Amino acid sequence: MEIQKIKQRYDIIGNSVGLNRAIDIAVQVAPTDLSVLITGESGAGKEVFPQIIHQYSSRKHGTYIAVNCGAIPEGTIDSELFGHEKGSFTGAIDSRKGYFEVANGGTIFLDEVAELPLSTQVRLLRVLETGEFIKVGSSKVVKTNVRVIAATNIDVYEAIQHGKLREDLYYRLNTVPIEIPSLRSRKEDILLLFRKFASDFAEKNRMPAISLNKEARDMLQNYRWPGNIRQLKNITEQISVIEENREIDENTLRKYLPDYYETKLPVVYDAVDKKTFASEREILYSILFDMKNDVNDLKKLVLEIMQKGSENAEIQQDNAQIIQKLYQSVEPATGEEKSNKTFEISRPKEDNIQDTEEIIEESLSLEEKEKELIKKALNKHNGKRKYAAVELGISERTLYRKIKEYDIQ
């Protein structure tokens, strides 16, 4: 019975279990001074519940202030909430009381509390824990006795993880949580709300109220309502103004719900999957096109070489000999190692191209290579160690140590 009185007093429409539960919790917590955190989607009707809590508390004769934290600029939010002293910043021509001082003995409702800057959240936490705050530009501690009710429409756990909401402030505000159900979870209330909004608008503007046929009613109830009650009221008023026919069918209603079919599906996951798969397809297509171009270029190159055939045989022979000399200059080999290296050069027969180079595995001993390089450098510079060291890119001291280590004569 008490819940019905509250609904009539605050013009709350609906009989869903979640809505009744939220009202019941608000009435039970009202006589206490506990902090309350109200959560729910935007447009779900969160702003009514702080008023219920205030009116059913011992503070009902005190001041009630509702503050939209997201609408106040970051540079002035501290001054708005806690006040400031004269000359504390540019434009502070006089002292000013903040909301917490004005609402002393009453209730302050902080809507969209997660939009507060982190520095302001620290000051708010102190007010909640000690009832004390300091004005901007002052060093004097001010006492206040305020009941704080906060609300947010974001995922608080995600906000905490991303550093947008302090965890200690969340637990201090969340002494008593109240969750307002979304309109899509209150399907039995959608038609009641529609009739209420249509009737109020028609009475206000002196016109017949609109109604829905069976198919349109089903469509209205199956819609997801991302904007919740606010969106439903907006659409009801649009239809009331625009449509001449006062009985609305499903085709007419669909014009005002352009994403109706999309919202009946699991939109979030569907949209993410489509975007992800589209991106992967684009990557695969790009890779395949690049591979196709590379293969075509390779085919042209091979065809060009095959067409030249024997004309380039002598050039290939010369190139192979140059490769052999370069290989020997980079990795000098002893007479024994040279016997382990063979470079076979064969002339191509007509249009056939054969691999003309064969490298047989050789010794990979670093010590032998290093020793041989030192010998070649010394021989090149007639035993002059200074120039041999420069040739090898090492210091003379290192060269002396290497000569002694390898017992080079």
Residues 274-332: tens digit of each pLDDT: 444 445 666 776 777 778 777 877 777 777 777 665 455 554 555 455 445 444 544 44
Asked if residues 108 and 147 have their Cβ atoms less than 8 Å apart, the reply is yes
pLDDT for res 260: 64
- Alpha-carbon distance 210 to 199, whole Å? 8
**Nearest residue to 114 via CA among 82, 68, 65:** 68
Q: With contact defined as beta carbons under 8 Å apart, do 350 and 310 qualify?
A: yes
User: How many whole angstroms separate alpha carbon 148 and alpha carbon 175?
Assistant: 11
**In a shared domain, residues 29 and 141:** yes
21 falls within a domain: yes
CATH classification of the domain holding 381: 1.10.10.60
More confident residue, 140 or 287: 140
36 within 8 A of 53, measured Cβ to Cβ: yes
Q: How many domains does the chain divide into?
A: 3
Arithmetic mean of pLDDT, 140-158 = 94
CATH number for the domain spanning 135: value is 3.40.50.300
125 shares a domain with 39: yes
Sign of CA dihedral 293, 298, 301, 302: negative
The residue written with tokens 């540019």 in the block is 90
Final residue belonging to a domain, choices 181, 215, 250: 181
Rounded to an integer, what distance in angstroms lies between the CA atom of residue 111 and that of residue 247?
38
Distance CA 321, CA 337 (A): 18
Is residue 395 included in any domain, yes or no?
yes
Decide which of 220, 241, 263 is a domain's last residue.
263
Q: What is the pLDDT of residue 389?
A: 83
Within-domain flag for 58: yes
Residue 345 has pLDDT above 50, yes or no: no
Are residues 70 and 126 located together in one domain of the fold?
yes
Q: What is the pTM of this model?
A: 0.62
pLDDT score, position 365: 65
Residue 10 forms part of a structural domain: yes
Domain range for 382 is: 365-409
> Does residue 91 sit in the same domain as residue 223?
no
Give residue 181's pLDDT band: very low, low, confident or very high (50, 70, 90).
very high
Judgement on whether residues 168 and 209 belong to the same structural domain of the protein: no
What's the confidence (pLDDT) of residue 259? 74
Give domain status of residue 31, yes or no: yes
For residues 219 and 170, state if they share a domain: no
Which residue in 85, 102, 103, 82 sits closest to 94, CA to CA? 85
- 165 shares its domain with 121: yes
Write down which residue in 127, 159, 181 finishes a domain. Answer: 181
CA 232-182-115 angle, 5° bins: 100
Number of helical (H) and strand (E) elements in the chain, helices listed first:
19, 9
